[in-house]
Structure 1
Amino acid sequence: MSAYAIGIDIGGTKIAAGLVDGNGTVLVRGRRPTPGFDPAAVLATVCELVRELGPGGAGAVVGVGAAGWMDPEGSTVVFSPHLSWRDEPLRRDLERALGRDVLLSNDADAAGWAEYRFGAARGEDNVVCLTLGTGIGGSIVLDGELRRGRFGMAGEFGHQVMVPGGHRCACGNRGCWEQYASGNALAREGRSLLAVHGPVAKGMREAAGNNPHAVTGELVNSLAVAGDEACIELVVEAGQWLGLGLANLAAVLDPGLMVIGGGLGAASPLLLETAEQTYRSSLSGRGYRPFARVVGAELGPDAGLIGAADLARNALG
């Protein structure tokens, strides 16, 4: 098995790359903005990053974690709600362009695998991992194995319908979980509060320059951390929705540990505290069954590329 592998994490806003050793340590890094909605440009950017990693990555296998639904063989991105991939043969195209083996996986699966192997889930073989950011991604490790389901699409937790007929989602449905417990949900609720011109939104209005388009999930959370009462209320509401979804996952999968990462998960202790409280008060059979522990992820924004590299090393190295 090769000592090194290259990991690529393709997200809606950035593509991150790294040369990763067998202990999950990132030795060399690269990063580019995701080039809009052009699949050919995304492919070219990934190839550029792989070559940028230099002599240390020469001949190393490449693992790619991509924001989308994969076919069971891990060769085609069937659909991506946030990128313009539709039946995109990404692995084939990358292998042809790079002249080396590539392993393709969902980005949340890669991040969850990294936390299981090297991060917050070390020592626990039954784990649910969530990546909480623009939306909600997820991964499942049961009995020490990453589970992708019969059609390769398990772990799309953010697209379970929580509110029939609710807010429209990029996946085509309404009322998906990520429409109530994600960065996008916080931004939408913040903009809605700003639009009514009430006095409770004074701090948000000043921070956003009275521009609704400047209201992001990050802004709402940062104002909540600073003590803004209106933003605290929005974060608590999102945390309650998050906790209800965690209770659903625990009822179905019975994990020993639930790890919450992603940009919003790392930035909002209040969100996670509220989520755990709601999960504990909502779990079916509470009082007669153990609670899974709920913890924050440890590997931060590197989790996706670390996991993608490790999966590639194990399968192809």
Structure 2
Amino acid sequence: MTALLDQLKDGLIVSCQPVDDGPMDTPAIVAAMALAAGAGGARALRVEGADNVAAVMQRCDLPVIGIVKRDLADSAVRITPWLDDVQALAAAGARIIAVDGTARARPVSVGELLAAIRATGCLAMADIATLEEARAARAMGFDIVGTTLSGYTGGPVPAAPDLQLVADCAALGGVVVAEGRYNTPALAAAALTAGATAVCVGSAVTRQEHVTQWFDTAIAKAAAARERTVLALDIGGTKSLLALVRNGSVLEERLARTEGPVGTPPWFVALGALAAGWAGRYDAVGAAVTGRVHDGAWRALNPGTLAIPESTPLLDRLRRTFGTAAVLACNDAQAAAWGEYRFGAGRGRDTLFLTVSSGIGGGIVRGGALVTGSTGLAGSVGQLRGPDGQRFETRASGFGLSAAARAIGRPDDTRAIFAADAAGEAWAAELIAAAAREMAAMLVNLQLLVDPDVIVLGGGIGLLPAYRRRIEQDLSSSTAPTRPTLVAAALGTHAGILGIGDLAAQQSADDATAGPSLSG
């Protein structure tokens, strides 16, 4: 039997279990699945039911892990609960017999099932859900521990597999089979990296109904998102833009000054009044806000840019204000990054987006996903500190330019500064050149740190030709690969509302068209 365990090492086990009572639920088709799995490189098979095991053994020489599933009236245990099941599987030709090894009430104890397996000469596998159960199975003498039941013994079923349990079980020693929601090759490889001896994959390979549903659900969600109308809000330090957005298009919009005190109950009432005429015309609400959003709360990143009450319950307030549960919020630059990735200058490419206006914000899209970070801070370039402790945006943003002009007794309005530059006034040119140098150096550092395909520069100042021209001049001394590919934002002031509109539409569609989980 040692040779059999060696055969499993670093291998794939395919669970040939069709959907119960489905069109493929016959011994002949299960045997055909087994042959196909073997042709693809499987080292072993997991098969349910003695008749199916016997059919597979007649046509295939791969070792079989046999199980019997039963729905019991007085126990949640389903996998091989009876001693007769053990006998039937062994007689059918199973080389390994798996039983439920959890600490739940059962008709026959785990110890009795293990003794029955030993009496047949088969190897014994314990399907467990926790590390404590794995320890108990090891102590009892099971040959294999499988993480099969992690996530399936109570509560919502997680979407991802339990890689931590795999690693913890591997640390106990012995043979560990990673099983449960390993539905992509990358996840299977991750299980091996975590320490699994072998990986068992089921639905993603042999349950055609489930795989078809996964694709069908994904398509349905995309179609639903495309038809969703979202009330999109882009709340900035000086201006707020409200719009009805659908599928990357702005249907209607309204622009208003961002009046304080922002984030207070009266402010939310005023925000609701701005959109009152659109009541009943949208399916969801999306808010892109200056600051940090995490766990539904809104917090200022730089109170000097936009001061808000600490830990404002943003999602809850939006639900109350607009009378809908379909609400999503994120940082405004993160939303704009997603907008440029989906519909603008970063379309389809790993994108780092920077907006330079009153402040400086950023967002990262990598691998087709918006990166928000563990606490919502990802992309907060303006908040990076220099050796003097100052925020980057203090030196290189619109507020920074205004402060620098004010310090030398010049007009502190950014429009006046750039107008003076256009008129050839040296003081203005020096201020803009200094801010551009700061930005160029930051762009090189960001290229080194994130290495995106493209850096998209937007915002009221970031899109000004005089500002961009000076940045490009400062970047001319850099060479590939540290010199970033810098492009102008294509969506202008609509990047944030289109981004948050798309994200909110996707979430709304996900909630409305929830399909089967991608369980493995």
TM-score range, shorter chain: 0.7 to 0.9
- Counterpart mapping for 1:109-120 below 5 A: 109-120=334-345
Aligned to 1:281: 477
One-letter amino acid of the counterpart of residue 321, structure 2: A
Structure 2 regions of 5+ residues with no counterpart? Answer: 1-223, 510-520
TM-superposed CA distance for 1:13, in Å, is 1.7
One-letter amino acid of the counterpart of residue 392, structure 2: W
Note closer, same or farther for the CA distance 1:79–1:138 as it changes in structure 2 (3 Å cut).
same
Asked if the contact 2:348/2:368 (under 8 Å) is kept, the reply is: no
TM-superposed CA distance for 1:123, in Å, is 3.2
TM-superposed CA distance for 1:227, in Å, is 2.6
Note closer, same or farther for the CA distance 1:279–1:112 as it changes in structure 2 (3 Å cut).
same
Once residues 19 and 110 of structure 1 are traced to their aligned partners in structure 2, the CA distance between those partners, rounded to angstroms, is: 15
Once residues 278 and 232 of structure 1 are traced to their aligned partners in structure 2, the CA distance between those partners, rounded to angstroms, is: 14
Note closer, same or farther for the CA distance 1:230–1:79 as it changes in structure 2 (3 Å cut).
closer
Write out per-residue CA displacement over residues 215-247 of structure 1, whole angstroms, 9 at most, x where no aligned residue.
222211222133322211211111000101111
Once residues 179 and 78 of structure 1 are traced to their aligned partners in structure 2, the CA distance between those partners, rounded to angstroms, is: 19
SS state at 1:129 partner: strand
- Counterpart mapping for 1:1-317 below 5 A: 1=224, 2-22=227-247, 24-38=248-262, 39-57=264-282, 60-71=283-294, 73=295, 75-81=296-302, 82-100=306-324, 101-124=326-349, 126-162=350-386, 164-165=387-388, 174-194=389-409, 208=411, 215-266=412-463, 268-281=464-477, 286=479, 289=481, 291-317=483-509
SS state at 1:265 partner: coil
Once the two structures are overlaid, the 10-residue window that deviates more, 218-227 or 87-96, is: 218-227
One-letter amino acid of the counterpart of residue 254, structure 1: D
TM-superposed CA distance for 1:290, in Å, is 6.2
One-letter amino acid of the counterpart of residue 97, structure 1: T
Asked if the contact 2:242/2:275 (under 8 Å) is kept, the reply is: yes
Asked if the contact 1:133/1:262 (under 8 Å) is kept, the reply is: yes
Once residues 79 and 191 of structure 1 are traced to their aligned partners in structure 2, the CA distance between those partners, rounded to angstroms, is: 25
TM-superposed CA distance for 1:127, in Å, is 0.8
TM-superposed CA distance for 1:55, in Å, is 4.9
SS state at 2:232 partner: strand
One-letter amino acid of the counterpart of residue 231, structure 1: A
TM-superposed CA distance for 1:65, in Å, is 0.5
SS state at 2:477 partner: helix
One-letter amino acid of the counterpart of residue 484, structure 2: A
TM-superposed CA distance for 1:34, in Å, is 1.7
Which protein is bigger by CA-based radius of gyration?
2
TM-superposed CA distance for 1:80, in Å, is 4.2
TM-superposed CA distance for 1:188, in Å, is 1.4
- Segments of 4+ moved more than 4 angstroms: none
One-letter amino acid of the counterpart of residue 222, structure 1: A
Note closer, same or farther for the CA distance 1:279–1:37 as it changes in structure 2 (3 Å cut).
farther
SS state at 2:375 partner: coil
One-letter amino acid of the counterpart of residue 223, structure 1: A
Once residues 35 and 187 of structure 1 are traced to their aligned partners in structure 2, the CA distance between those partners, rounded to angstroms, is: 20
- Root-mean-square deviation over aligned CA pairs: 1.8
- Count matched residues: 279
> TM-score, normalised on structure 1?
0.82
Once residues 467 and 456 of structure 2 are traced to their aligned partners in structure 1, the CA distance between those partners, rounded to angstroms, is: 13
Asked if the contact 1:32/1:45 (under 8 Å) is kept, the reply is: no
Once residues 45 and 225 of structure 1 are traced to their aligned partners in structure 2, the CA distance between those partners, rounded to angstroms, is: 39
TM-superposed CA distance for 1:54, in Å, is 4.9
Once residues 177 and 299 of structure 1 are traced to their aligned partners in structure 2, the CA distance between those partners, rounded to angstroms, is: 25
Aligned to 1:168: none
